[in-house]
Structure 1
Amino acid sequence: MNSIPNTKIVEIIVENEKLNDLKILHLSDLHINKKTSKKEILDLVNHCNNLEFDFCVITGDIIDTKVKFITEQLKILNTLNSEVFYISGNHDLFYGLEDLKKELTNFIFMDNETFKINYKNEIIHLAGLPDRFSKFFKIKRDEKKIESYLKNSPSIFISHQPKDYKIATNSDSNLFLCGHTHGGQIFPFHYLVRLVQPFLAGLFYRKNTAIYVNKGLGYWGVNFRYKADAEITILKLITKSVK
């Protein structure tokens, strides 16, 4: 993560009128590591705290090193001044999810969890799943529980990898948010990512579900992006018939 990118506003068409005009700040793949300065995180938090939205979602891979090396950075991240819902990514699992949860005390952890959000006196049903790599860490993914909950309308599903989109479509969930791909990060690796993921980046529609894949803020491997800009995104939901 270097300079903070300009905020992108994406309008998403949804069928449920209860979601109309809902604004979600979507962050993903921060990959905070030993080289991430406290100033970078402070700049990110200050930027986000000046935006207008209803709640924030972080779709995994917050960390890219052991938590003990970045506690000060995480304390700053924890000062985002809205409701923040987050789920695990594969890097969070590898570097220490339990330690991460201890630092992010102001955030709401959504692995295998459900939550009711009050929006304009209506209830939005939010649910999340652990990353697909969780099986290697002896963490169960309770897909049946989450699918059943998402059938409540309206509903939003969050997970790390685009591969989980069928859980949303099978449940007729209105919106699925994810990350993981970095948008390919460095062209032409985009093509390799598409071999293993159903979506690379951006907005898609399948059945009754809108899908948004965030390209993330951080880097994996090398500190470089090409034709896959970092993003901070506000998703504005609009009620219309999905075309």
Structure 2
Amino acid sequence: MKYVPRLVLFLAIPAVLFLLPWWTLVAAPTEGASPLFWAGTAVFVLGYATLPTAMFLGHGPRQSDAASIVGDTLLGVMWVLFSWSVIGQLARLALGIAGVADPARSRIVAAGVLAVAAALTAYGVVEARRIPRVRRVDVPIRGLGKGMDGLRLVAITDTHFAALDRQRWSERVVDVVNDLKPDIACHAGDLADGSVDKRHAQVDPLGKVEAPLGKFYITGNHEYFGDAQGWIDHMASIGWQPMHNQHEVLTRDGDSLIMAGIDDPTGVGLEGHGPDLTAALEGADRDLPIVLLAHQPVQVSDAAAAGVALQISGHTHGGQIWPFHYLVRLEQPVVAGLSRHGATQLYTSRGTGFWGPQLRVFAPSEITVLTLRSETR
């Protein structure tokens, strides 16, 4: 019985995603009881049955890559159709006020929604699979010594290596990162979905990243849906320093800063895991500026209380598929970009890859160059 609420939710969300597009594209324009109505209804019923089945087979105990590709793709397409069906109903209302009667009104809306959704889906696939754009941001840091002024920190995050083989994409991302000549390289979590055995070939190119002051990695929430410790160990084996609630002191030209990292909150409950900023900063010289890797922007409240100068996060994907960023904003204080929280600055990356649906609509991926600048007191 304890699984009944989850099952209801698992079936109710796809029902909502399918019902409004069905009404917009099938029921309203065909006026029911026609061959087109029944054919369209059959397609939507089949889709509704396929989505939860594929998601369960792909992301449940079986971890079927083929099923996850089908389920994730269908989920993304239906979110686009649902979002634009909502807008379509507003357009339908406006057309009614303008005096356009049915069935012409509903057919205009259906054609418009279908055309826009198809165009945005095609655009979203291209945007998701492309090599991310480079985003450059100067970050003034109070107390940063002149020897550290101009330090280049290149951040990637949310690569989500998964069922779709993106090994070549991974290699090209590494080429871009190395061309940027980072002093420090960071991966802010959600490295991969799946086990090390299944995904390491896509992750291994990251071992070729070159950064003289260090390459640092933290866990995201998705590592804890699989084998977090396995990924921590694997990243260490290819030359990255996992920041598992710990810090390092980095020095250049006689000046230093503290590089720290904490686990994702999803790790709470797994022995030895879970964010512990106190442990991460134990023994650190608090007169030095602290740069913290924390996967979720919401962790900035703890960072601000601890006197962190800059937190680097991911997790949000910038919403990934418009208008999902409005829902992200309900959970996180920031969706993307540089923001200030008291004396602490937070940079939230839109992410380098994508999760689930290979779509990015109005939320482009990024490789981020954060150039640290000295700020006088």
TM-score, normalization by structure 1: 0.93
1: CA distance, partners of 2:281 / 2:210? 30
1:93 has 2:93 as partner = no
- Cα pair distance change 1:224/1:241, threshold 3 Å: farther
2: CA distance, partners of 1:241 / 1:182? 33
Displaced runs of 4 or more, over 6 A: none
Question: Where in structure 1 are there 5+ consecutive unaligned residues?
Answer: none
Give the aligned partner of residue 62 of structure 1: 191
Give the aligned partner of residue 205 of structure 1: 340
Deviations 1:123-145 (A, max 9, x none): 21111110010114232432322
Letter in 1 for 2:286: K
Give the aligned partner of residue 372 of structure 2: 237
Residue range with higher mean Cα deviation, 16-25 or 145-154: 145-154
Residue range with higher mean Cα deviation, 70-79 or 187-196: 70-79
Give the aligned partner of residue 144 of structure 1: 278
Higher strand fraction (1 or 2): 1
1:84 to 206, 215, 219: 215
1:184 has 2:319 as partner = yes
Deviations 1:14-69 (A, max 9, x none): 22231421210011100011313321111111121111221111110001122211
Is the Cα contact below 8 Å between 1:33 and 1:65 reproduced in 2? yes
Q: Secondary structure at the match of 1:70?
A: helix
1:155 to 290, 297, 301: 290
2: CA distance, partners of 1:122 / 1:241? 15
Letter in 2 for 1:145: A
TM-score, normalization by structure 2: 0.61
1:216 has 2:347 as partner = no
Letter in 1 for 2:349: N
2: CA distance, partners of 1:37 / 1:53? 23
2:181 to 27, 52, 58: 52
Deviations 1:168-218 (A, max 9, x none): 211222111111000111111111001011111100012221110011012
1:35 has 2:164 as partner = yes
Letter in 1 for 2:186: V
Alignment of 1:102-141 (within 5 A): 102-104=233-235, 105=237, 106-138=239-271, 139-141=273-275
- Cα pair distance change 1:8/1:150, threshold 3 Å: farther
The aligned length equals 242
1: CA distance, partners of 2:277 / 2:184? 24
Is the Cα contact below 8 Å between 2:190 and 2:219 reproduced in 1? yes
Q: Secondary structure at the match of 1:57?
A: strand
1:73 has 2:73 as partner = no
1: CA distance, partners of 2:334 / 2:285? 21
Give the aligned partner of residue 168 of structure 1: 303
Q: Between Structure 1 and Structure 2, whose CA radius of gyration is higher? A: 2
2: CA distance, partners of 1:132 / 1:25? 24
Q: Secondary structure at the match of 1:102?
A: helix
Letter in 1 for 2:230: D
- Cα pair distance change 1:3/1:201, threshold 3 Å: same
2: CA distance, partners of 1:5 / 1:93? 25
Give the aligned partner of residue 228 of structure 1: 363
Pick 1 or 2: higher relative contact order, CA cutoff 8 A, min separation 6: 1
2: CA distance, partners of 1:102 / 1:166? 29
Give the CA deviation at 1:241.
5.8
2: CA distance, partners of 1:103 / 1:222? 26
Is the Cα contact below 8 Å between 2:264 and 2:274 reproduced in 1? no
